[in-house]
Amino acid sequence: MSGPAADLSGWSVAPFTGGEYTHDVYRKGSGPGVVLIPEIPGMHPGVLALGNHLVDNGFTVAIPSLFGTPGRAVSAGYVATTLARACVAREFAAMATNKQRPVSVFLRALARDLNASTPGKGVGVIGQCLTGGFALAAAVDDSVLAPVLSQPSVPLPLTAAQRRDPGLSETELSVVTGRCANDGLCAMGLRFSADRMVPRERFHALKERLGDAFEVVEIDSGPGNAYGFGRMAHSVLTEEVREVDGHPAYEARKRVVEFLTERLSR
């Protein structure tokens, strides 16, 4: 059994340029804007289902296709190939610490563009897996009011420094910290407790800097956990969701929708 899935039906697509990069952006819905950044290996059926869920809850969703083939189903080979390409891409700087990644400039421009065409005073940004921390980097821009970091895995946690690294540069984090302290910005972070790709040290570092402005949702995936999550459980908002009340990933997805609604409907 896997999480919800959907196809490309109803999504419009057009290229968008921000900074030095151009990517196709898929859009759908009405209401406040949410930039939904895909996880590895790309805009797979689970990401599209999450996008549809956000649309059904009253949001305009923009999904930038940063890697992979939109609509293609997940397979082990597809994941491995896409991850290998992404890890060496300058745009993502997957191994670097204290790094302002070029993709953040693109995402800030996309957030501003989405904000200009949707109601409300700002937009949300959801990052996942490789792109999880990009959501917080996007919040350097005032248009972003609700960053959500789902299983943020960059920089890949091979060393102690990489495990502690928050996934953005100190300059960017200082701006975000200032927005949390002075402007009421809040962020969310989600992870499975046993997920080695998303080290607890990273969340501790973010909590130290952002304090109560950083809401953490941690789902027990340790041995013998009540819902049978495996030690490889990773994708909180897509693959691991079962649409049953009380299921931790389902409840986490509900909380994300509540968070977006609270922050963007003011």
DSSP 235-252: -TTTTT---STT-HHHHH
Examine residue 258 and state whether it is found in any structural domain, yes or no: yes
At position 64, the amino acid (one-letter code) is P
**Enclosing domain of residue 245:** 12-264
Alpha carbons 241 and 247: distance in angstroms, whole number: 8
What CATH number did the domain enclosing 115 receive? Answer: 3.40.50.1820
Examine residue 3 and state whether it is found in any structural domain, yes or no: no
**Planar angle of CA 266, 51, 21, nearest 5 degrees:** 90
User: Per the structure, how many domains does the chain have?
Assistant: 1
pLDDT in tens, the chain (266 residues): 689 999 999 999 999 999 899 999 999 999 999 999 999 999 999 999 999 999 999 999 999 999 999 999 999 999 999 999 999 999 999 999 999 999 999 999 999 999 999 998 899 999 999 999 999 999 999 999 999 999 999 999 999 999 999 999 999 999 999 999 999 999 999 999 999 999 999 999 999 999 999 999 999 999 999 999 999 999 999 999 999 999 999 999 999 999 999 999 86
Examine residue 199 and state whether it is found in any structural domain, yes or no: yes
Examine residue 4 and state whether it is found in any structural domain, yes or no: no
Alpha carbons 168 and 55: distance in angstroms, whole number: 29
Examine residue 7 and state whether it is found in any structural domain, yes or no: no
Examine residue 111 and state whether it is found in any structural domain, yes or no: yes
Closest CA to 128 of 154, 105, 151, 110: 151
Examine residue 168 and state whether it is found in any structural domain, yes or no: yes
pTM of the shown model = 0.97
**Are residues 35 and 126 in contact, defined by beta-carbon separation less than 8 angstroms?**
yes
Examine residue 63 and state whether it is found in any structural domain, yes or no: yes
